[in-house]
Amino acid sequence: MRIRRLGFFALLLAGILWLLPSSPTAHAQSGTLAATPPMGWNSWNHFAGRVTDADVRAAVDAMVASGMRDAGYIYVNIDDTWEGQRDAQGNITSNSKFPDMKALADYVHSKGLKLGIYSSPGPKTCAGYPGSYGHEQQDANTYAKWGVDYLKYDLCSYGGIMKKEAPGDQQKQWEMMQAAYEKMHQALLNTHRPIVFSLCQYGFDAVWNWGPKVGGNLWRTTGDINDSYDRMSVIGFAQAGLSKYAAPGHWNDPDMLEVGNGRMTPDEYRTHMSLWAILAAPLLAGNDLSKMDDTTLSILMNKDAIAVDQDRLGIQGDRVRAVGPFEVWMKPLAGGAKAVALFNRSEAEYPITVQFKDMGFSGVVHARDLWSGKDLGTLHGSYTAMVPRHGVVLLRLSK
C-alpha cells in the first residue's frame, strides 16, 4: 500500500511538473518575465558615454539607500560604451571602464537588484563600439555567464546593413530587421537564463504589431527622448491609440525617464511621471541617483503613481478626451478603479473637468488626488481641478 501511495504521488508530482513552464520560451510566454513594466535605472540620459563601473555601483548604492529598490526600481542598466574588443575566440570583453563585469553583476545581485546591458544587431553600437552582428549566440552566452538579467538591443549600424542588402526595398529591410531581433531572442532563450529583451529600434515598421513575435518584452515606440518638456510631451502624448498592443510581458516603451536631470520644472516632471504611469510604460530613471533633491525623490518615489504603472491588470491607459491643449487620460485598474490624469499642455493655469460617466462610472464616486495625497471624498457627476501650466492632476477614482 505504501509503495502504491508513493507511486501515486510520484505520478501526481510528474503531472504538476509537466504543466509548469519547462523552458525559457514557456517562461516568457507565461507572463512571469516583465509581468509588469520594468522599473529601474539606465545610465545613458545622464552619463552617456562617460559611464563607469564606479558610476553604476554608486547608482546601486543610491537605489538601496533612497528606498528606490524597495519601491520597485530593480534593474540597473548599463547603456552604450561598456564594450571592449573581442578575444581570439570572438568573445566580447568589457573595456577599461568596466574591468570585471562579472564582479559588477555579483555586486548588483548582492543588493537585491538586477543587471542590464546594451548591444546592437549591427557590427557597431550607436557610439561605435562592437555590436553583436555575427556573434549573437556568443554574446548571449557571455551575458548569461556574467549574470545579466536585461538586454537593450539598439538597431544602430544594422540599418546600414539593411540598406546595403536590400537597397530600395523597404519591405525586405523590415523583414531583415525583424529577423535580426528574432535571432538574438533565440540566442537568449538558448542560454536558459531569463533575460528581459528590450527592442530599441525607434518604432520602425509599427513595432507594436510584431514586437511580441520576436520575443520583445518591451519595444521603443519613438525616437530618443531628451530633458525638455517639448520633446517629452511630443513623445508621451503620441502614444494615444497604442494601448491595445500592451499586455503583461510585452510593453510599449516611450523611452526612459528624464526626471531629475534639471531642465524641466517640477510640474513638468510630474506630468512626465504621470503620463508614463498611465501608459503602463517602463519606469527607467535616467538621472544621477547619487545627487537627488527632495523634489526628484518625491516624484520618482510616489507610491501611488508607481502603483498605477505597476497595476496587476497590465492594461495600458489611453486618451479619453482632448480639447485643444487640455487632455483627459484614463487607465483601468484592478478592482474596478480607474486612474485618471488631467493634463494641461497650455502656457497658463486652467480648470479641467472630468465627467465621471466618461470614465465608466455612475452614481457616487470616491476620489483621491495622487500627487497631493489628499482624499477628495465622495463626488457626484464630475470633478474640476485647476491644473498648472504644463502640469497634471492625477486621480484615482473608485465606486
- Do 340 and 258 share a domain, yes or no? no
Torsion angle of alpha carbons 386, 389, 391, 396, nearest 10°? 20
Q: Are residues 271 and 334 in the same domain?
A: no
**Does 335 share its domain with 302?**
no
Query: Does one domain contain both 194 and 257?
Result: yes
Q: Same structural domain for residues 298 and 359?
A: no
User: What distance in Å separates the CA atoms of residue 359 and residue 353, rounded to the nearest whole number?
Assistant: 12
CB atoms within 10 A of CB 26: 11
Q: Give the pLDDT score at 1.
A: 38
Residue finishing a domain among 280, 309, 338: 309
Tell me if 368 sits within 8 A of 335, measured CB to CB. no
- 93 assigned to some structural domain: yes
Is residue 134 located within the same domain as residue 186? yes
Of the candidates 309, 335, 361, which is a domain's last residue?
309
- Is 241 part of any domain? yes
Domain of 35: which CATH number?
3.20.20.70
* Of 196, 185, 153, nearest in space to 31 by CA: 196
Could you tell me if 86 and 162 lie in one domain?
A: yes
pTM for the model: 0.92
Domain end position, chosen among 309, 333, 368: 309
Tell me the C-alpha distance between 383 and 127, whole Å: 49
- Same domain flag for 335 and 286: no
Q: What is the pLDDT of residue 32?
A: 77
224 is catalytic: yes
Strand partners, 340: 330, 395
Do 340 and 295 lie in one domain? The reply is no
Q: What is the pLDDT of residues 43-89, one digit of tens each?
A: 999 999 999 999 999 999 999 999 999 999 999 999 999 999 999 99
Please state the domain count of the chain.
Answer: 2
Q: Within a domain: residue 15?
A: no
The per-residue pLDDT for range 233-286, each reduced to its tens digit, is: 999 999 999 999 999 999 999 999 999 999 999 999 999 999 999 999 999 999
In a domain, 345, yes or no: yes
φ, ψ for residue 191 (rounded to 5)? -75, -20
**Candidate list 205, 224, 304, 358, residue with the active-site label:** 224
Q: Among 53, 80, 149, 154, which one carries the catalytic annotation?
A: 154
Residues 38 and 176 in one domain: yes
Provide the residue range defining the domain that includes 358: 318-398
Over range 342-350, report the average pLDDT.
Answer: 98
For residues 245 and 333, membership in a common domain is answered with: no
